[in-house]
Amino acid sequence: MPRERATVTCRVCDGTVHEFLDLGRQPLSDAFREPDCDTEEFFFRLAVGQCESCTMVQLTESVPRDKMFHEDYPYHSSGSAVMREHFAGVARRFLATELAAPDPFIVEMGCNDGVMLSTIHQAGVRHLGFEPSGRVAELARTKGVRVLTEFFEDSTAARIREAEGPAQVIFAANTMCHIPYPNSVFRGVDALLAPDGVFVFEDPYLGDLVEKTSFDQIYDEHFFLFSAHSVRAMAEHHGFELVDVERLPVHGGEVRYTLARTGGRTPSAAVADLLAEEDARGLSDMETLRGFAAGVMRVRDDLVALLRRLRTEGSSVVAYGATAKSATVTNFCDIGPELVSYVCDSTPAKQHRMTPGKHIPVRPPTAFRDPYPDYALLFAWNHADEIMANEQEFRRSGGRWISYVPNVRVL
């Protein structure tokens, strides 16, 4: 008999969370290890459920934030040309709209290496980034960005409000979904945001995850998986209102949510449209989420079967992109060096290390080309167009890409 799961309380509204997918024992997704490291790895149970009250989809177990976001955190937002242009566009839009008034002030939660705020800095606009990971924060400072190496929460936000006044914009990208204590964050937003200001954040969208069976979007750092319905409920719970939504193609499908104080702005038609679309799809229904879970099991079985067949045939298989989300794939599917020889990645901090949990060697892109493998498993599938444009010679040499989103196939 399956063991009974403990009751889990929603981190937003204290409702009951019902689990629908268990991805097993997982390591920290960004804890790349030195080959000679003999310290014990940290593992946790990665499972996801839905609140029966506010419909928020969330992990049922959280990882301490200082284990995930630390001095050696290896992800750099500026590593992709697509993302650099995306965030430059975000900054330009803010400069033309919310930050057009005299002496505006913008605050970013999780500013990473300053990819967005560097454009704000160049425009001479007052700004401040919160980035608890020391080394990437230092990269932001080299671009002229003002950064606090702290977490954004009610106490730090109140301190900034007293010192610098209200912010017209509080922004976060791929950060709100990381934070399992939204009540403290919203108290901070309430303290720091100007009366007519906006709180804008963009994160992976539950609707895209379900549609694409992209279960690798579920890992330790992605505590929440947002939908328009659950964000609206979260906003209302804290005295805010969802006033705009925008679908984004980046990172495999995201939504940008704009929140304002209740009654402060008229919600756009896009909000009602996305809510209606989610209702039509049954995105908040547990039956839909259980169907997604069944699809995850099919992808796992198909991917492992393909890799085992290729190994039996004597084909060489490597992976491309030592992404955080690939830890979910390798550990849930039990994919190690016997099935994938190595992972190539352009991030120096990950190179010559081993992937979390399964210990697949990480090598620089030069290894990928010397010689080319027969097959490359595309872990960084959300950057497929950019990667394939950079690696056209691989295809010309006879190499084939393997994708598992939305299903397993050889390209």
Q: What is the mean pLDDT of the chain?
A: 94
H-state helical runs in 252-391: 269-281, 286-313, 326-333, 365-368, 384-390
Residue 355 pLDDT: 97
Tell me 379's DSSP state.
Answer: T
Q: Is the pLDDT of residue 70 over 60?
A: no
Q: Is the distance from CB of 38 to CB of 359 less than 8 angstroms?
A: no
3-state DSSP call for residue 101? coil
Which residue's entry shows tokens 């060697």? 361
3-state DSSP call for residue 104? coil
Nearest-angstrom CA–CA distance, 175 and 112: 10
3-state DSSP call for residue 321? coil
pLDDT band at 69 (very low <50, low <70, confident <90, very high): low
Q: Is the pLDDT of residue 73 over 90?
A: no
pLDDT band at 72 (very low <50, low <70, confident <90, very high): low
Residue 2 pLDDT: 42
Q: pLDDT tens, 10-27?
A: 999 999 999 999 999 999
**φ, ψ for residue 370 (rounded to 5)?**
-140, 80
Q: pLDDT tens, 146-155?
A: 999 999 999 9
Q: Is the pLDDT of residue 4 over 50?
A: no
How long a stretch of residues is the chain?
411
* Beta bridge partner(s), residue 343: 319, 362
In this structure, which amino acid lies at residue 255? V
Q: Is the pTM of this model over 0.85?
A: yes
Residue 68 pLDDT: 63
Q: Is the distance from CB of 262 to CB of 270 less than 8 angstroms?
A: no
Contacts of 352 (CB under 8 A, 6+ apart): 35, 361, 362, 363
Mean pLDDT to the nearest integer, 317-339: 97
Residue 241 pLDDT: 98
Domains and CATH numbers, the chain: 77-287 (3.40.50.150), 288-410 (3.40.50.720)
Nearest-angstrom CA–CA distance, 126 and 177: 26
Q: pLDDT tens, 231-253?
A: 999 999 999 999 999 999 988 89
Q: pLDDT tens, 77-92?
A: 666 788 899 999 999 9
Q: What is the DSSP annotation of 334-357?
A: T--TTT---EE-S-TTTTTSB-TT
Percent of all residues in the chain with a pLDDT value above 70, rounded to a whole number: 96
Residue 342 pLDDT: 98
Q: pLDDT tens, 122-172?
A: 999 999 999 988 888 999 999 999 999 999 999 999 999 999 999 999 999
The closest alpha carbon to 78, from 140, 147, 124, 150, belongs to 140
Nearest-angstrom CA–CA distance, 283 and 157: 34
